[in-house]
């Protein structure tokens, strides 16, 4: 049996765990080729992985000195409002909003310490004439743990060239941390007509024709199914919100009932996991045709981005959930452009996690919030989008428990 040594080439699933005021967070990243002779890993993690084999998992604290600069007020700047370059994105003018993240190209006429900044910044204060921006890493004030699960170990390879990867930096970059509020103040996701859409025709018309397609690739579906399996238990009554011809629930999970609420009769009829189904447009009527405290869990799969009355719907989900019941929302980075809400394509994918968290928080019906992400698994070779990207569709999830 192969064991990791200083010459190993491995496939590792990294898992970053951390806590904010309102939620626990787990952000995972798959490293298909981790070279122990060339790449950078935190020393404590590398030591913990030595002599481990496939299937083993280790976890260590992640000191900020290993990857993230300490939080400092030197990375906070006050600017004149006109230095925020109000770009047009998808035909809509982008104004600075409290708590939101923006790429550094949105700032202009800079000098001094801020001029050479290349990282995204967060807008943390607005007063009309000035704005305050923060370039600190969003995880700079959080205690982090980094786990590594071994998926594969290759035989010793004599190759010594190539690119060096800093895996702690990769795992903690690319927007991880964007999902949390700034100093516990609500993020302003709700200005600028966020719930408008390109197509305002009734959803029943758009979904009149069945679409027997999956909206994420098979690896992403596997990840979503496994995630549901961690929270759902045999004997539960489950509501599949905005359901279709597949529910992505574990096949071997003996649920008491699975009720589908969706918009296309043919799709719902074809779904083998549903025991009941109802045609219902949540964007037309947020109230659902179910009694109070009826379900043990509600799931919503790759559909939350179409809700035009999300806070009302999240409150309604809480009504039909039993006390301590779970509402589990999963999504990726693909959608129907005519029906997605205006805000969704305009924000970073980790900010979308924060947006869904705001739905939970603003409804004031949930506790024990948690978020989850999984990125960078290889895309299945037979997937139709493999010519666009070799990476599987990312998976994001937000979960809350009814108060």
42 pLDDT above the threshold of 90: yes
- DSSP bridge partners of 126: 131
Residue 14: the pLDDT is 98
**DSSP secondary structure letters along 192-218:** S-TT--S--S-HHHHTSS-----SS-H
Does the pLDDT at position 397 exceed 80?
Answer: yes
Asked, for residue 80, whether it belongs to a domain, the answer is yes
Considering the domain architecture, whether residues 114 and 224 belong to the same structural domain is answered as: no
Average pLDDT, the chain: 94
Is the pLDDT confidence value at 207 over 70?
A: yes
**Domain match, 59 and 156 both:** yes
Please indicate whether residue 191 or residue 207 has the higher confidence score (pLDDT): 191
Which residues form the domain of 325?
Answer: 203-402
Label residue 92 exposed, middle or buried (CB < 10 Å: 0-12, 13-18, 19+): middle
Instruction: Looking at the structure, tell me whether residues 79 and 35 fall in a common domain.
Output: no
- Residue 381 pLDDT greater than 80, yes or no: yes
Distance between CA 359 and CA 353 in Å, rounded? 10
Read off the tokens for 281: 């447009």
What does the DSSP 8-state code read for residue 38? T
Per the domain annotation, does 187 fall within a domain? no
- Check whether 366 has a pLDDT greater than 80: yes
Q: State which of 124, 153, 172 marks the end of a domain.
A: 172
Q: 163 and 292 in one domain?
A: no
What percent helix, strand, coil does the chain show, rounded to 5?
Answer: 20, 30, 50
C-alpha–C-alpha distance, residues 81 and 310, integer Å: 32
Domain count, the chain: 3
- For the cut 70, the answer to whether the pLDDT of residue 161 exceeds it is no
- Indicate whether 1 belongs to any domain: no
pTM of the model: 0.95
Q: Is the pLDDT of residue 37 over 70?
A: yes
Let me know whether 207 and 327 are in one domain: yes
Residue 391 falls within a domain, yes or no?
A: yes
249 with 352, same domain: the answer is yes
SS3 26: strand
**Domain membership flag for residue 181:** no
Please check whether residues 211 and 284 belong to one and the same domain: yes
**Residue 402: φ, ψ to 5°:** -60, 135
- pLDDT at residue 74 greater than cutoff 60: yes
* pLDDT digit string, tens, across residues 104-159: 989 999 888 888 888 999 999 999 899 999 999 999 999 999 999 999 998 766 55
Count CB-CB contacts under 10 A for residue 326. Answer: 23
Classify residue 182 by burial, with Cβ atoms within 10 Å: 0-12, 13-18, 19+. Answer: middle
Which residues does 75 contact at the CB level (< 8 Å), separation at least 6?
69, 134, 135, 136
DSSP SS3 for 111: coil
Burial environment of residue 378 by CB neighbours within 10 A (0 to 12, 13 to 18, 19 or more): middle
Q: What is the DSSP letter of 40?
A: B
pLDDT for 157 equals 61
Q: Are residues 388 and 336 in the same domain?
A: yes
The CATH number of the domain where 357 resides is what? 3.40.50.150
Average pLDDT over residues 7-24: 96
Read off the pLDDT band of 203 (50, 70, 90): confident
Q: Are 208 and 264 in contact (CB under 8 A)?
A: yes
Co-location of 244 and 384 in the same domain: yes
Q: Identify whether residues 258 and 336 lie together within a single domain.
A: yes
* Dist CA 191 CA 94 (whole Å): 11
> Does 192 map to a domain?
no
Query: DSSP letter at 84?
Result: B
Helix axes 349-363, 310-320, angle to 10 degrees: 60
Average of per-residue pLDDT across 283-304: 97
Would residue 2 count as lying in a domain? no
- The CATH number of residue 94's host domain is 2.40.10
Same domain, 41 and 167: yes
Exposure pattern of 190-208 as b/e (b: 16+ CB <10 Å)?
eeeebeebeeeeebeeebe
Among 85, 111, 134, give the residue marking a domain's end.
Answer: 134
Asked whether residue 188 is assigned to any structural domain, the reply reads no
Residues in the chain: 403
* Residue 65 scores a pLDDT above 90: no
Mark whether 218 and 296 lie in a shared domain: yes
């Amino acid at each position: 049996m192969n064991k990791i040594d200083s010459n190993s080439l491995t496939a590792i699933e990294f898992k970053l765990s951390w806590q904010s005021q309102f939620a626990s967070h787990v952000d995972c990243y798959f490293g298909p080729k981790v070279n122990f002779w060339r790449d950078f890993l935190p020393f404590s993690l590398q030591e913990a992985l030595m002599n481990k084999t496939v299937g083993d998992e280790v976890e260590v604290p992640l000191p900020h000195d290993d990857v993230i600069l300490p939080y400092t007020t030197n990375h906070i700047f006050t600017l004149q409002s006109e230095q925020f370059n109000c770009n047009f994105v998808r035909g809509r003018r982008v104004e600075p909003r409290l708590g939101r993240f923006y790429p550094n190209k949105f700032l202009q006429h800079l000098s001094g310490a801020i001029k050479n900044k290349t990282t995204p910044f967060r807008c943390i204060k607005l007063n009309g004439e000035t704005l305050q921006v923060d370039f600190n890493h969003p995880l700079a004030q959080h205690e982090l743990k980094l786990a590594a699960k071994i998926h594969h170990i290759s035989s010793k390879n004599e190759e010594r060239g190539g690119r060096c990867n800093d895996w702690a930096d990769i795992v903690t970059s690319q927007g991880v941390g964007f999902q949390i509020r700034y100093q516990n103040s609500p993020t302003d996701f709700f200005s600028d007509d966020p719930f408008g859409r390109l197509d305002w025709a009734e959803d029943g018309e758009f979904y009149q024709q069945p679409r027997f397609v999956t909206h994420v690739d098979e690896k992403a579906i596997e990840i979503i199914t496994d995630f549901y399996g961690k929270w759902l238990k045999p004997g539960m009554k489950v509501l599949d919100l905005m359901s279709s011809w597949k529910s992505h629930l574990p096949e071997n999970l003996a649920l008491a009932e699975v009720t589908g609420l969706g918009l296309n009769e043919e799709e719902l009829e074809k779904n083998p996991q549903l025991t009941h189904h109802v045609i219902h447009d949540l964007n037309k009527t947020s109230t659902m045709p179910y009694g109070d405290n009826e379900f043990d869990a509600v799931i919503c799969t790759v559909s939350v981005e179409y809700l035009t009355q999300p806070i009302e719907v999240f409150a309604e989900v809480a009504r039909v959930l039993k006390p301590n019941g779970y509402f589990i929302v999963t999504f990726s980075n693909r959608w129907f452009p005519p029906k997605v809400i205006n805000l969704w394509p305009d924000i970073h994918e980790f900010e979308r996690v924060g947006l869904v968290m705001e739905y939970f928080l603003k409804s004031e019906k949930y506790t024990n919030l948690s978020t989850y992400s999984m990125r960078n698994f290889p895309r299945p070779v037979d997937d139709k989008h493999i010519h666009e990207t070799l990476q599987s569709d990312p998976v994001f999830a937000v979960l809350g428990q009814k108060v």
